[in-house]
Amino acid sequence: MRDQAFHAFFEKHHAALSGLAFLLSGDRTVADDLAADALTEVWKHWDRVVASGDPAAYAKGIVANLTRNWIRRQGRARRGLTLIGLGGDRAPSPDVPAVLDVRTALNRLPYRRRACVVLRYAFDLSEREVADVLGISVGAVKSQTSRGAKQLADLLKDLKTEVAR
């Protein structure tokens, strides 16, 4: 029974969890790994997940936490490479078509704002659900979503202006 319930959960939510990880991380390959890691954690703690009352929100919270940790590790790795003289001053050449993509602008948002915007608008979660997934207050969700949406709009406007030049 437990195996069947988890299997049904996996089939129903794997794609959405991978999509969430992609929108938060900006890396499709990493997103699949993060979704798999999250589902492994869900499986290990299946009884607790089911007892939470909303297994999908629980799993999204795991994805959000795993992605935040992955982003932190990437930053530390880049700083480490810079300290030893590798990967320093080279800026990637701009990819004009990618600049127009919303994902590019999303990646420029601070993690919490990005998470709030993605969960509210891409996954259509309520403010309460986003607060539960991220482990923050509803007020923080409201302010981060509002600021994130404005910052995203400004970034997209700036990118559009840059491309038009």
How confident is the model over 86-144, as pLDDT tens digits? Answer: 454 444 544 445 444 677 788 899 999 999 998 888 888 899 999 998 999 999 999 99
**Number of separate domains in the chain:** 2
Quick one: pLDDT band at residue 76, thresholds 50, 70, 90? low
- Same domain for 99 and 162, yes or no, is yes
What are the residue ranges of helices labelled H in 26-137?
Answer: 28-44, 46-51, 55-83, 96-99, 102-107, 111-117, 127-134
- Same domain for 76 and 54, yes or no, is yes
Average pLDDT, the chain: 83
- Same domain for 97 and 84, yes or no, is no
- Same domain for 79 and 113, yes or no, is no
140: CATH: 1.10.10.10
Last residue of a domain, one of 59, 91, 123: 91
Helix axes 127-134, 55-83, angle to 10 degrees: 50
79: CATH: 1.10.1740
The alpha carbon of residue 155 and the mean position of all alpha carbons in its chain are separated, in whole angstroms, by 18
- Same domain for 62 and 81, yes or no, is yes
Last residue of a domain, one of 91, 111, 140: 91
pLDDT at 164: 62
Quick one: pLDDT band at residue 84, thresholds 50, 70, 90? very low
pLDDT at 80: 54
Instruction: Say whether 108 sits in a helix, a strand or coil.
Output: coil
pLDDT at 86: 44
Last residue of a domain, one of 45, 67, 91: 91
- How does pLDDT run across 30-52, given as a tens digit for each residue? 999 999 999 999 999 999 999 98
Tokens of 133: 């997934």
Which residue segment(s) compose the domain that 128 sits in?
93-165
